[in-house]
Structure 1
Amino acid sequence: MRVGLLGGRVAAVVAAVMVAGVGAVVGVVVGPARAAAVVFSNPLAEQRADPHIYRHTDGYYYFTATVPEYDRIVLRRASTLQGLATAPERVIWRKHGSGEMGAHIWAPEIHYIDGRWYVYFAAGRTDDIWAIRPYVLESSAANPLDGPWVERGQLQPARSSFSLDATTFVHNGQRYLAWAEYAGSNSNIYLARAVNPWTYAGTPTLIATPTYAWETRGYRVNEGPAVLIRNGRVFMTYSASATDASYAVGLLTASAGSDLLNPASWSKRATPVLASDARTGQWGPGHNSFTVAEDGSDVIVYHSRNYERYLGNGYDPLSDPNRRTRIQRVYWNTDGTPNFGVPVPDGATPVRLRAHDQPDRYLRHWEFRVRLEPNVTNLADSQFRIVTGLSNSGAISLESTNYPGYYLRHRNHQLWVERNDGSNLFRQDATFTRRAGLADVAKVSLESVNFPGQYVRHRDGLLYLEAVPDAAGRASATFALD
């Protein structure tokens, strides 16, 4: 969060989607262990940068982030992720009037460790606002919004150079501390074993430094580490480059059985895993954290702006308050690696339609023809936003994630993804009545509005609009929303 801010709002789309009768299916995750479906709408919060959401055992989500004034730490909680959008916000700590912790209060994170709450944050001094260092607060309160909070001071042993974005995680019974720190012209990521929540042991290990072109736009930066441990591996995301539209998320990976303090244990992906996308209207996604949704699915929490500004021409990201907190589901590739897709458009979060009778295959568009394919690594090709029906507010339409304004529609009884031309015919062709799954009532089938009795179904790998009179046809017209 060197020079960034953010913000977010709760889109009114959720209400429209609920009216359309699709609120119960947005964000559904498949699997017997999943709970009820989750509705997300982006952005989650305006002018809240470097967001961190922690799901606690008390049933609440706790949310903190950088505020544009850089002068305080705020916290809110809710029983659902979407509920954080409207939850009351409380100031739990303010900057000092002089000396250390007196300026640039950045990137707070909240964690619960051994029966106490901890907040990690970065701060400068009133006599040197760029003397940024990581600091720690502690509270024994059951509800961290109530406090009180004790200052544990700077992360120890104290860092001697510009350092920020401290985070913590446990792996194989060992707690670690990770943070970003400048060395020469680079901001690098360091890792160390924790003695307690504010103290580390030994010499920190440098595990990542900016080397690729996409990590060095404007500034040479690796910062904002966040950890997700799954599938026998430790995944660490980080953010790179200047905090304007250049900002992007990268990925480090280590084997779960490796020595995490050995730099050789970590590999870096050569390309970003989340970056600006003009099609979806999101620029500079970054400084993320991870949480788990109510349905058990992994969720990435990050910030972005909904307009593009690059360094130059007098633009200063530090003074731009309009980064917004956003959330979206993390998907998993068949090789066990995370797939973040693209920063999704504002509004209701997208879903994937998985075939009931071929559960490894998803609807996806390729050259705008809709087909059924496995292993869709270009995730956004298989993601659709469920919105109010274009021709009928009681029905639904499915909007492409990576081609906003393009909708699933039937033409000559074939399924395509095409731009809405505004015609009455298009609106009807792109509107469907959501039915309980013809082969499984827990799933969904899509009946044409202008051809009642005909359903979206797959046949020979392609999608058609057809009647489905037999069991095989009903199975091919039933989809899980993933």
Structure 2
Amino acid sequence: MNRTLRAVLALVATLAAVLAVPGAPETAGAAAPPPGQATRYTMTAFTNSSESNMYVYESPDATGFTLLKGPAYTPPSGMIRDPSVFRHTDGNYYLTYTTRTWSALSTTIGFARSRDRVNWTFLYDYTVPISGLQRAWAPEWFVDTDGSVNVILSASVAADGEWVFKPYKLTATDPALTSWSTPVLLSGLGPNHIDTFIVKAGSVYHAFAKNETTKYIEYATASSLTGPYTFRRTGDWAGFGGYAEGPALVPLDNGGWRIYYDAYSAGKYWYSDSHDDFATWSAPTELPGLTGFVRHLTVLRETVPGGVGLPTGTTRSLRSVNHTDRYAAVRANGLGHLDPVTSSSSTAVKQSATFTVVPGLADANCYSFRDTTGRYLRHWDFRARFDDADGSAVFAGDATYCARPGTAAGSVRLESYNYPGRYVRHYNHELRVDLHQDTDLFRADSSFSAVAAWA
């Protein structure tokens, strides 16, 4: 775990640590899906190479995306920008998107439908009824807690100026999503904000929008979808940098939020995470494998049947998928390594590669691993080690890992619970918790088979 962030989190966890009796913390509730279910993230994006085609990707962790189909959809008009996806109550997936290139006047937004996220059918282009409309851009789905289906779009009108954008709300007036309410201006999100993306947490609406004047993504809140919104953070408040646009947010399995955004002037795509109700954000990280290729994307999170799991309450050994004679093991100094173990190894060596799988200390639907002395696998400065539990929330997060599919049948990859996108992997036979890399080597290095315990 990063030392600087550890100091900050330790302040938050101080009370819990003081009150807790040293030893194994009680397992927490669950944000991750239960056994037999899995999280699935679907991404839709247009690309740097083409405004005519949409690509569809899938991920179990919101970090490493694999291509489902690309190109997956080309509208009859031959133009698709800023595709936004959601799943409706009818079981279908729906797209809305910008129908013209950035330099052209546009008064319509497009709609398409799919049953499987891969094969899409054009529905219609909708002429947005805003007086003096010159550009209708970046429509984003927003489903409110009352079940209403809305599209939030950025529009410029002649009276304000060709490039002055404000957000408007359209609400579907029929279940088939074929008719829409009169556009309503969202108050407070002006005078020139574009690419507005809204999420709701509790009773509060949280809006993230690009200030087209300063080129920063800014943050506002309101008690009503239509406002009035009050800006809480402006300028480079979160460290996202300037010339950033197209913010899109999605919830993570540990209860946090991830924002993706297009650093268009640098030709890169970034993400950042928040675990304190949008107050602070992690250092921006380039989206592995897709940065520089995808443009203005959205990501849909669903819980679906399937996934991989481990048998809790049992002892297992974790065999490397790409070094099948080596196993995750703890050495005398407490550090994790990938060591050779055979039937002729000593009892001490076999015990060093034997762990009890228990429900995750921070989330009971994830996992923690206890060695034969009772210590837990955790990370410190992103080095894997085994320590005695101290009863704190920080330790529980450090010692919890969520199972993702590995590269071999039945194998798992262990994603850090409090650092989503980082995985237990071996490097020079040391066990580390490293950021996902879009390479076959990294995926293999971070894949383990839970086999019969050596001891």
**TM-score under structure 1 length normalisation:** 0.49
* Structure 2 unaligned blocks of 5 or more: 1-44, 308-366, 368-377, 380-396, 399-404, 416-422
Please name the residue that 1:124 is paired with.
Answer: 156
* Contact 1:161-1:181 within 8 A present in 2 as well: no
State yes or no: 1:224 paired with 2:273: no
- Quote how far apart the aligned CAs of 1:360 are: 4.5
| 1:163 pairs with one of 184, 188, 193 | 193
* Structure 1 unaligned blocks of 5 or more: 12-25, 31-37, 299-331, 337-350, 384-399, 402-407, 409-415, 417-456, 462-470, 476-482
State yes or no: 1:81 paired with 2:113: no
| 1:271 pairs with one of 264, 268, 284 | 284
- Cα distance in 2 for partners of 1:89, 1:373 equals 51
The letter of the residue matching 1:164 is I
* Contact 2:194-2:209 within 8 A present in 1 as well: yes
State yes or no: 1:151 paired with 2:182: yes
| 2:68 pairs with one of 26, 29, 40 | 40
Superposed, 1:411-450 pairs within 5 Å as none
Alignment partner of 2:86: what SS?
Answer: strand
Q: 1:357 to 1:129 in 2, by over 3 A?
A: closer
Q: 1:44 to 1:266 in 2, by over 3 A?
A: farther
Alignment partner of 1:76: what SS?
Answer: strand
The letter of the residue matching 2:162 is I
State yes or no: 1:190 paired with 2:206: no
Q: 1:191 to 1:236 in 2, by over 3 A?
A: farther
* Contact 1:179-1:223 within 8 A present in 2 as well: no
- Quote how far apart the aligned CAs of 1:63 are: 1.1
- Quote how far apart the aligned CAs of 1:378 are: 2.8
- Quote how far apart the aligned CAs of 1:209 are: 2.0
State yes or no: 1:353 paired with 2:407: yes
Deviations 1:280-330 (Å, cap 9, x if unpaired)? 7x62534332213573699xxxxxxxxxxxxxxxxxxxxxxxxxxxxxxxx
Q: 1:39 to 1:274 in 2, by over 3 A?
A: closer
State yes or no: 1:204 paired with 2:231: yes
**TM-score under structure 2 length normalisation:** 0.52
State yes or no: 1:136 paired with 2:169: yes
| 2:300 pairs with one of 287, 291, 294 | 291
| 1:380 pairs with one of 438, 444, 448 | 438
- Quote how far apart the aligned CAs of 1:52 are: 1.2
The letter of the residue matching 1:269 is S
Please name the residue that 2:108 is paired with.
Answer: 72
What is the RMSD computed on CA atoms of the aligned residues? Answer: 4.8
Alignment partner of 2:100: what SS?
Answer: coil
- Quote how far apart the aligned CAs of 1:155 are: 0.6
* Contact 1:192-1:204 within 8 A present in 2 as well: yes
- Quote how far apart the aligned CAs of 1:178 are: 0.5
* Contact 2:167-2:193 within 8 A present in 1 as well: yes
Q: 1:137 to 1:184 in 2, by over 3 A?
A: closer
Deviations 1:113-155 (Å, cap 9, x if unpaired)? 32432110001113521121101111220111x2x21123211
State yes or no: 1:55 paired with 2:87: yes
* Contact 1:123-1:134 within 8 A present in 2 as well: yes
- Quote how far apart the aligned CAs of 1:458 are: 8.7
- Cα distance in 1 for partners of 2:98, 2:431 equals 41
- Cα distance in 2 for partners of 1:79, 1:120 equals 23
- Cα distance in 2 for partners of 1:272, 1:160 equals 29
Alignment partner of 1:88: what SS?
Answer: strand
- Cα distance in 2 for partners of 1:96, 1:152 equals 7
* Contact 2:261-2:271 within 8 A present in 1 as well: yes
- Quote how far apart the aligned CAs of 1:62 are: 1.3
- Cα distance in 2 for partners of 1:247, 1:381 equals 18
Alignment partner of 2:73: what SS?
Answer: coil
Please name the residue that 2:32 is paired with.
Answer: none
- Cα distance in 1 for partners of 2:147, 2:424 equals 46
- Cα distance in 2 for partners of 1:79, 1:123 equals 30
- Quote how far apart the aligned CAs of 1:64 are: 1.3
Alignment partner of 1:268: what SS?
Answer: coil
* Contact 2:199-2:205 within 8 A present in 1 as well: yes
* Contact 2:207-2:219 within 8 A present in 1 as well: yes
- Quote how far apart the aligned CAs of 1:28 are: 9.3
- Cα distance in 2 for partners of 1:61, 1:222 equals 25
Q: 1:143 to 1:154 in 2, by over 3 A?
A: same
- Cα distance in 2 for partners of 1:139, 1:365 equals 51
- Cα distance in 1 for partners of 2:185, 2:211 equals 16
- Quote how far apart the aligned CAs of 1:271 are: 3.3
Q: 1:198 to 1:249 in 2, by over 3 A?
A: same
Q: 1:297 to 1:204 in 2, by over 3 A?
A: farther
The letter of the residue matching 2:185 is Q
Q: 1:295 to 1:175 in 2, by over 3 A?
A: same
Q: 1:211 to 1:227 in 2, by over 3 A?
A: closer
Q: 1:56 to 1:242 in 2, by over 3 A?
A: same
Superposed, 1:459-474 pairs within 5 Å as none
